[in-house]
Structure formats: C-alpha cells, structure tokens
Amino acid sequence: MSMPGPVSAQQMHFAEPLPLRSGAVLRDYTLMYETYGTLDATRSNAVLVCHALNASHHVAGVYADQPKNVGWWDNLIGPGKPLDTDRFFVICVNNPGSCFGSTGPMHVNPDTGRPYGSDFPVVTVEDWVDAQARVLDRLGITQLAAVMGGSLGGMQALSWTLQYPERMRHALVIASAPNLSAQNIAFNEVARRAIVTDPEFHGGHFYAHGVVPKRGLTVARMIGHITYLSDDSMEAKFGRSLRAAELSYSTQEIEFQIESYLRYQGDKFSEYFDANTYLLITRALDYFDPARDYEGNLSSALSRAQAKFLVVSFTTDWRFSPLRSREIVKALLDNRRDVSYAEIDAPHGHDAFLLDDARYHGVVRAYYANIAAELNA
Amino acid sequence: MSMPGPVSAQQMHFAEPLPLRSGAVLRDYTLMYETYGTLDATRSNAVLVCHALNASHHVAGVYADQPKNVGWWDNLIGPGKPLDTDRFFVICVNNPGSCFGSTGPMHVNPDTGRPYGSDFPVVTVEDWVDAQARVLDRLGITQLAAVMGGSLGGMQALSWTLQYPERMRHALVIASAPNLSAQNIAFNEVARRAIVTDPEFHGGHFYAHGVVPKRGLTVARMIGHITYLSDDSMEAKFGRSLRAAELSYSTQEIEFQIESYLRYQGDKFSEYFDANTYLLITRALDYFDPARDYEGNLSSALSRAQAKFLVVSFTTDWRFSPLRSREIVKALLDNRRDVSYAEIDAPHGHDAFLLDDARYHGVVRAYYANIAAELNA
C-alpha cells in the first residue's frame, strides 16, 4: 500500500450547451471533479464514481491545506483499499445543480445576470450521466473499467449502463433502487415542503435577501437522516437515553439524546447545503425510473445494458431495501446479464453503504480484483 | 341491532386542581366527554375508550345537527357492533391539553387572563388517566368492565391497569407499545421542530397575533401521516402514479399523486388542529414509559396490573410494530396475567386499528362477548 498524496479538485468549463430531459438546456457550465491514481497507457483502468444527495466530487483522500476534509468514500477508495487507486484511475464529478462548485442554483444565470435560484433547470439522473460523459470525453476515456455508485449514485451507475451501454465493462450498484417507492417520494415531498414554505426561501431567490431558509433545510435534513438510519441502529445508539438525569417536562427543550443528535445533524447540514440544490436532487431521485418508458417493465428497460453487474444491498436498509435491489437483479437475469448480488447483513440501515463493513468491503475488493485480473488478461 | 339515536357531547367542570407528573397543577379545568348506551343498575357494564393523538371524545355516532360528523371509532362501537352499546355503557373523555373542547392551550389561563399557549403545563399519559378517573368518580363508576384504546389510547389503557389496578376487569391495548422507540421520538421531534421554528408560532402565543403556524403544522402532519401508513399500502394506493399525463419537471408543483394526497392531509389537519396541542400530545407519547422507574424492566413495571388483557397488533404497522406489542404480552405472561394476543395480518400499517377489518373486528367482538358473558354469570 503506497502513501496517498494530497488530492486536489479540478474544473472543466463547457461552452457547448447541455440539453436536459426537461427540454431546457444548461447553456454554459463548469464541472468540478477529482481524480485519483493514474490512467494507464491504454486508458482502460478508469472507474467513475457517482455521488449521492449530499456528497461532492471529493470522494477520497485529503487536500494539502485541509487535512481533516477526508473524501466521503475514503474508506473504500484509495491505495490498497477495495477500489485500489494503485491499480485504477478513479474519477468523481460533482453533478450540475449541486452546491459544491459545479454550476448550480447559487451561480449566475447567464440569461439574467443574477443567481439562478429556483430558475435553475430541473436536472435528472440521465442529465447527470450525460454531463459526466462529457468529462470522460475530454479526458479521452472511451470505455470505463467500471462505473460505481451508492444510493442515488447507484441510480446513476445503472443509468450509465442504459444510456452508454458500450462505455463500461462493469457497473457496481450499491444500496440503490430502480425507482423511488411512494413512501420514498413522500419523505422527499415533506422535506421540500419544509423548505419552500420557510418564509426565508423567498420563492427560491433568497440569495438576494442575504438569508437562507435554514429552518426548512434543518427540518428537511432531520427527516432525511431518520430514513438513513435503521430503527435498530438508532435504538442501539440512542434508545431512550435522556440528556439530563431527570426529565424537565418541556415540549421544546431537548430531553432525549436522539433529539440532540438530530438537531445537530440538521443544523450542521443547513450551514453548508443549498436549499435549491436539495429540491433539485430530491426531484432527480423522484423522477428516476428507467422502466417508465417500458410500461413499468424493468426487464424491458434493462435489456439495453451490456455491462457486468455487482449489486449490493444491506439487510436493515429500509430506504432502499434489499427487495428493491433484487428487482434490479431479477430484471438483469431476465436479460441473461452477468450479475453478482450480495445482500450484506449489516445493522446500519441505508448509511451502511458509506461505512467500513468487513463483509461489504470484502465483496467490493474481490469484485475489483476480478476486474483487474480481467484487464491484465 | 337497534338504531342508534343521535349523540351529544357533555362537559364536566372541575374546581379541585389536578396535580400533574411534572409538578405543575391544572388549577381549574373542564373535560368534554360522550357516552353511549345505558349504565346498568349495578354500574358494571362501563367501558372507557381512550383517544389517540388527533381524536376527540366523539368516538361513535353522529350529532343531531351534524349528520356527517361520525365518531372516529364508529365502525367498532355502536349498537350491534363489536363493542356493542346495546350491552355496554361506553365513555370517552377528551384529554386535557387537547383542542376539542377540554381545557387546553387555547383556553384562558386563570393565572394570567390570557390563553395558555405554550404555558399550558406538560401533561402525561398518567395525568390523562387521573383526569379520566375523576370523570368516572363523578359518574359513580367504581369499576370498569373494560378500558380500551389504540396507539396512544392503548398506552392510556395500559397505564390505567397500573395506576388503578382494581378499577377495571379488562384492558384492550391495540396497536400500541410500552414506550416509543428512538425512531418514534425522532419523528415526533422533527414534527415539533417544524412547528416551533415556524415564525407564526410566536413562541407558542400565536393566538394573540391572530395567526397559526400553519406551515409547520402542515409539515408535522405530513411526517406523521407517512408513519401511519404502511409502505405497501402507500404503494398499492399511489405507487408512482402521476397527477398529469406528462411530467412537468418542477421541484414545487405536484407531479405524483402521493404528493397531492399528503399536501391535502397536511392542509386539512392544519385548519382544525392546534399547534400547542400537537407539541403536548407528541411529548406525552415520548414520555410514556412505565418501565422507567423499574430500570427498564417492563415485567417488573407491569406486576401491578390485575386486569385481563387483549393485546392486538397489525403485521404492517411499522410505527408500533407487533414486536412492541409482544413486549407487553411477554411482560404480562412473566407476571402470570391472563392475556390474549392477536397479531392481525392487515396491509394498512398503523392506521389499521381505525379500519373495519373483519379479522380484527371479529377478535374484538368475541372478546367483548366473553366480557358480557362474564358479567351475566
């Protein structure tokens, strides 16, 4: 295992418009991205990692001047890690509409000269995949060794195999789903209502008012956070533990540790995340549904896929339950695709895909070792 | 089956203070209640029904002048129904702190001459049981044939058997739990944060401002509503159905039927329910935990109970899952109590306890028939 050097973010500017599924175009945009490892001479060892709701292009390593800002999937990706950057060249692109540097709602709309705000066009998983493909084009990468993502990132990985079936050998779809359930959409909708009904949302143009809809964004994040954790892990970590020795009998003061934790998570999130981005990304989740154009038949929808697949789910994930991953597996098998499926017995709910679980990481490590062997053959 | 006559609400005023678990007292208060059927000569056929979060004393029948205002448990309670009011005398009391007529946050605080608002004292399940006991005292009812409740009402029924173990022969605890889980508390906390951070909450004294924290209350109800329904029933009823034929690609307009339904539920609720009551009742839920004084040992806590029990749970209820009901059953069995347990295979989630399910109603009907036979013996 070699020592990783510090990483740095890069950007690409695109002057040619990006046509979006909504019919709108992104006229002119910049994408932030990071790479780790070295692209080999035949440009065959590239792995694209797709990020989920609240993550960025900073997927692994640390910046030279920010030693504590560790990439969000650093436990999985790096030298000697399951996705070994000594062997693979890893790329992660911050999606347009996000709030981590790529063109998004807080940037200036060239059509109006003021921040996009809620005028930023609705972007879909398919649009993000198109944007990522343009980055790969510029990098001269015709075919990926693999595309990988968890949760919403897994949806992007799946969509890659349908939009650009020739451009990857493998797809790793982790803790994901072929679409959102009614309950998933319901949670997203409540979160959005909390944001847009906050008076400081100002119809999505709060930047001009020097405020942010912090209250709404905090509540939105608290709702989301509950769905990321399993009932069991919340019970194990917090249970009914009180913050003080005695009850204070108050409706507004914190009594239980779980309240303290959730408020902290909500507050922290509301200080760095953009409210318009939250709306856009939850909507992209809602819309994703490759079977929509196939009368709901996922097997028909996935018939275009050519990649080999690793699908991973976690037993206690109730946001994207194993049942949803098995729908993907079945649809791939219906098409006689090469698919490996691992259902990991893990207590942490949806968040498990971000955690360092030995069985989970073992499966991913073995899968990438096979890809490496295939490339060497 | 006899025809039910119209019902009417009654009230009782109490001048003697009600001491509360918080240490505060309710100095002077009025309780709304309704009764159905006839108390027999030996006062032995009374059944007390306890209401849950958003319900009132209007549990069955209709008012003469409001033929569409049907009691919230009318499918279960009435002449010839599972709890047969031709045989039993049924009482339901609106709990203090509620917003349906009993003394609550919108009433005048005798200490200040203005509405209580957020100064209304925190009330607990135990306090409600004490208040209900005073109503029974006035009605001359020493011992109930049964006490029954669903959800939070089931917690009251359970608490009755611990606070007044001699005062009932039977307890029916339906879709309930011996306390809230961390996840349950978490959902309550998010709902409360949505309310108290609404600028129109005004620290709980919004009445004086002529406004209500409608936005917060709407979001709170939407969150709650998701937890009342099962994932399956939401999927069956709404799935990913769109409101229009084509996607409109908007983050704020309604796209999916489930969004329309939830917004409607939230709006409707925010028009009749009081925000301070919502805080109080969710807090009473959080606090309920009869095992707290027994180092978390529920079997020790329930050793005081003398009643015979019917415990009912519903397979798809993820708010108060069958596992939680089984904890109650086990603790009762540890004490060699007489307990019947029915786990009803029903698709509707927590809401199932309010619905007309043949197996569920059959169990309740049979149980009350046995109570009636016992009384006749």
CATH fold of the domain at B10-179+290-375:
Rossmann fold (3.40.50)
Ligand-binding site membership of B292 (annotated): no
Residue A2 has pLDDT above 80, yes or no: no
B27/B14 Cα distance (integer angstroms): 9
Structure token digits, residue A109: 């709309």
Contact criterion met (CB < 8 Å) for A240 and B179? yes
- pLDDT, residue B1, reads 45
Dump pLDDT digits (tens) for A136-194. Answer: 999 999 999 999 999 999 999 999 999 999 999 999 999 999 999 999 999 999 999 99
Asked if A100 contacts A57 with a C-beta cutoff of 8 angstroms, the reply is yes
In sequence order, which residues have a C-beta less than 8 Å from that of residue B309 and are 6 or more positions away? B161, B170, B171, B172, B173, B328, B329, B332, B337, B338, B339, B340
Whole-Å CA distances, A99 to A58, A96, A181, A197, A200: 13, 8, 26, 21, 18
Question: SS3 for A64?
Answer: coil
A299 touches chain B (CB under 8 A): no
Residues of chain B positioned with their CB less than 8 A from the CB of A23: 249
Contact criterion met (CB < 8 Å) for A231 and B181? yes
Show the beta-strand stretches assigned E in B37-140: 46-50, 77-78, 83-84, 89-93
Residue B3 has pLDDT above 70, yes or no: no
Asked if A110 contacts A27 with a C-beta cutoff of 8 angstroms, the reply is yes
Dump pLDDT digits (tens) for B116-146. Answer: 999 999 999 999 999 999 999 999 999 999 9
B34/B16 Cα distance (integer angstroms): 22
A-contacting residues of B 48-87, CB under 8 Å? none
- pLDDT category of residue A6 using cuts at 50, 70 and 90: confident
Contact criterion met (CB < 8 Å) for B193 and A22? no
Residues of chain A positioned with their CB less than 8 A from the CB of B235: 181-183
Residue A319 has pLDDT above 80, yes or no: yes
**Residues of B forming the active site:** 151, 317, 350
When the candidates are 1.10.10.10, 1.10.1740.110, 3.40.1620.10, 3.40.50.2300, the CATH number that belongs to A184-283 is 1.10.1740.110
Q: Could you give the percent of chain A with pLDDT greater than 90?
A: 97
- pLDDT, residue B4, reads 60
- pLDDT, residue A4, reads 60
- pLDDT, residue B80, reads 97
Residue B101 has pLDDT above 60, yes or no: yes
Residues of chain A positioned with their CB less than 8 A from the CB of B266: 193
Residues of chain B positioned with their CB less than 8 A from the CB of A263: 189, 193
Residue A1 has pLDDT above 50, yes or no: no
Please provide the distance, in angstroms rounded to a whole number, between the alpha carbons at the two ends of chain A. 23
Å from B135 to nearest chain A CA? 25
Å from A116 to nearest chain B CA? 14
- pLDDT, residue A3, reads 54
CB nearest A251 (choices: B258, B266, B283): B283
A234 touches chain B (CB under 8 A): yes
Whether pTM > 0.90 for this model: the answer is yes
Residue B36 has pLDDT above 90, yes or no: yes
CB nearest A122 (choices: B249, B262, B283): B249
Please provide the distance, in angstroms rounded to a whole number, between the alpha carbons at the two ends of chain B. 23
Contact criterion met (CB < 8 Å) for A263 and B193? yes
Dump pLDDT digits (tens) for B190-216. Answer: 999 999 999 999 999 999 999 999 999
Give the residue carrying structure tokens 């590239």. Answer: A46
Dump pLDDT digits (tens) for A303-317. Answer: 999 999 999 999 999
Domain boundaries, chain B: 10-179+290-375, 184-283
Dump pLDDT digits (tens) for B308-363. Answer: 999 999 999 999 999 999 999 999 999 999 999 999 999 999 999 999 999 999 99
Contact criterion met (CB < 8 Å) for A251 and B118? yes
- pLDDT category of residue A71 using cuts at 50, 70 and 90: very high
Dump pLDDT digits (tens) for A94-110. Answer: 999 999 999 999 999 99
- pLDDT, residue A377, reads 84
B179/B52 Cα distance (integer angstroms): 14
Measured on CA atoms in the order B179, B196, B275, A221, is the torsion positive or negative?
negative
A-contacting residues of B 263-282, CB under 8 Å? 263, 266, 276, 279-280, 282
